[in-house]
Structure 1
Amino acid sequence: MNATHANPNAREVVVTGIGLALPGVATYGDLLGPLPGEGGFDPATGLIGRELRHKDRASRLALRAAQFALHDAGLTDADNTFIGATDSTAVVVSTNLGNADSVCEATDTIATAGVTGLSPLGLPQTSSNVIAGWVAIRYRLRGPNLTVCNGVTSGLDALAWARNLIMAGRAEAALVVGVEPANDVVTKILGRQSTDAAVAVVLEPPDAAACRGARPRATIAGYARARDLAAALTCAGVTEEASVGLWLGDEADAGAGRLLAAMRRIDLEAQLGPLSGALGVLQCAAAAAHFEGDATGTVLATAGGPRHDAAAALLLTP
């Protein structure tokens, strides 16, 4: 995964739905700042309900974000039943620490009570693909199903994987979810207070969106992952002459000289705290908000750099 690579450009993919389960952020338009700091998703009331019983916190957050995104894309009816192509809709989840608490709890139980102390209801939560599995089960989505646990670039990588699935004809649409929970295990791993964060976006070809009467919010125009950000930018098609109106990234990780220094910048983690696997998908939502405000230029989303083992760049257009 450290090798530089870019996507083919045989078919466009657009964003048609966005859903947030993020405390303090009411709409994805708030991501362009300053953040209201209140309102938005309330985990105390939003993570309860019969359909969320016996599920880990990250899965419950992801299910709520997915619900909002599918509704926003016009893919659910009044009963919250999926009305799209169930056999060819993919689920791609980005999370690095999503079920770490469940894994730690299981290992602690084995250490103290042996394997007989494990609960059959808790064991599914230890699977690295449990979040994507619950989302697919809830909406009966039988397309490709995978989880990306790829460090700081995970969210952008998940968008790229979903785009590739559609462009290759493996899926007609994709639901991409970036999620990280707030709990003691995650806080201990990060060394700082964690943040409940879940965001979901629906991706599909523009012709499919047009047939449904769905409104495209943004187009994924280019992507690359490389050892350093400068190489990723080049492979993603970002040049000195590119008309980039907004850069979503961390200046400390940039290392790309005058190109990025000249852009308007928003660092979502500086505003919201550590986002890990949710970051890239949240950047995609912020890009859509940028375009809805009639802003000019494309949006560049980046993650990683000198402090990490890789960097990724995603270019979005109106």
Structure 2
Amino acid sequence: MSTTDILITGIGTALPGVEGPMDLVDTATPRAGTAPPVDPAALIGKRGLRYKDRASQLALCAALAALTDAGLWAKDQLTVAGPSVAVVVSSNLGNLDTVCEVAADITTEGVNGISPMGLPNASSNVIASSVAIRFGLQGPNLMVCNGATSGLDAVHWGAAMLRAGRAERALVIGVETHNGPVEWLVGRPAAELLDGAVALLLETAPAAAERGSAPIAVLGSYAREASVEACVRRLVPTHSGQPGSWFVPEGHREASPAPLAGVARTDLTERFGRASGALGVLQCATAARQLAAGGEAIEQPPVLVTSGNDHDDASAGLLLRAVGASA
């Protein structure tokens, strides 16, 4: 492992039918629309949730789980310096219901009809801000709302912050909810949409080593191209070895770029529903747990994760390596 490596040292989930990160690789867990919704109060208590929108509530649940999994939260406090932890959140539609409610109130009642407690939730960056405030994370704070590639872009920007020395750790969260406005906008029923959150704790190798953290997986190369095939060919050249598995963009299971012919592929939206801005983070969390299950084998092949189809504005991809595997 190199001192320049960016490691995943914690994973947190707030997903229907998933009790923890280990369930991410258990294909027997309930499929989208069949499991009961996540109850944030049951996971983190009612304190501070009253005026939070659902996306923020779910993000807080996943954040606490990831911080705890990484050993950064104990006895109701952060175990490292607050400025050492950045926050990056990806969500395209998370607070759409609040935006619509505020717009409707302005239309019918004017600005005086806006709730002072609800208005802050109309800003998409309220999710990232709420997480930082709740857990005392004082590093850089970024909200990514970047379409189909948003989740992987968020992971990339979290890693970029660490490589630039802006922080030693980054909490990256993907969250989406389903509600009336979201169903109307995407033209899909609630049963086909994700209502949940997942979080990764990224850490520089020196920071993880200093506190004796056991990494789960290692981030590899990232690419963003105009098409899925261009993205795949950049990350997996035809002359190099194939990845062990491929987490495909939504509905891309049957496509076969030349470098990946015969590689096992997984479309997580078939299990969790359309995940929009949360998909890339969900894919990385699942891939990391898959790699960890294979142990620290030097020859264990990497896992390829991609988000964004050819009809989207771009496709993003990321390789993840097992701990101890060669780069």
Q: Is the 8 A contact 1:20 1:198 kept in 2?
A: yes
SS at match of 1:199: strand
Matching of residues 93-242 of structure 1 within 5 Å: 93-192=89-188, 193=190, 194-236=193-235, 238-242=237-241
Greater shift in the superposed pair: 184-193 or 266-275: 184-193
Alignment of 1:312 onto 2:313: no
- Does residue 270 in structure 1 map to residue 270 in structure 2? yes
Larger deviation: 208-217 or 226-235?
226-235
Report the AA paired with residue 6 of structure 2: V
2:282 paired with 1:285 = no
**1:219-259 Cα deviation digits (max 9, x unpaired):** 11110111112222343355452241111113744755232
Share of identical aligned residues, percent?
A: 48
Given that residues 87 and 139 in structure 2 are in contact (C-alpha distance below 8 angstroms), is that contact kept between their aligned partners in structure 1? yes
In the other structure, the counterpart of 1:77 is: 74
Judging changes above 3 Å, is the alpha-carbon distance between structure 1 residues 40 and 114 closer, same or farther for their aligned structure 2 residues? closer
* Partner Cα distance (1:233, 1:190) in 2: 27
Matched AA of 1:205: T
Residue 59, structure 1, aligned to residue 52, structure 2 = no
Q: Which amino acid aligns with 1:299?
A: V
**Partner-residue secondary structure (3-state), 1:244:** coil
Q: What is the match of residue 82 of structure 2?
A: 86
Give 1:47 shift. 7.3
Contact conserved, 1:223 with 1:312, CA < 8 A, in 2? yes
Secondary structure of the 1:220 match is strand
CA root-mean-square deviation? 2.1
1:49-77 deviations in Å (ceiling 9; x for gaps): 01212111000000000000000000011
1:13 aligns with 2:13: no
Relative distance call for 1:39 and 1:120 in structure 2 (3 A) is closer
Give the Cα separation in 1 of the matches to 2:112 and 2:123. Answer: 18
Q: Which secondary structure does the structure 1 equivalent of 2:88 belong to? A: strand
Q: Deviations over 1:88-107 (max 9, x none)?
A: 31100000001111100000
**Please, which moves more after superposition, 238-247 or 90-99?**
238-247
Measured in 2, the distance between the counterparts of 1:251 and 1:137 equals: 33
Q: Distance in 1 between matches of 2:166 and 2:64?
A: 23
Output the CA distance in 2 between the equivalents of 1:282 and 1:259: 24
Q: Work out whether residues 229 and 256 of structure 1, in 8 Å CA contact, stay in contact via their aligned partners in 2.
A: no
TM-score (norm: length of structure 2): 0.89
Conserved? CA contact 2:302–2:319, under 8 Å: yes
Which structure 2 segments of 5+ residues have no match? 323-327
**Counterpart for residue 301 of structure 2:** 297
What's 2:21 paired with?
Answer: 28
| Structure 1 unaligned regions, length at least 5 | 1-8
Aligned mates of 1:187, 1:178 — CA distance in 2: 19
Q: What is the distance in 2 between the residues matched to 1:28 and 1:261?
A: 29
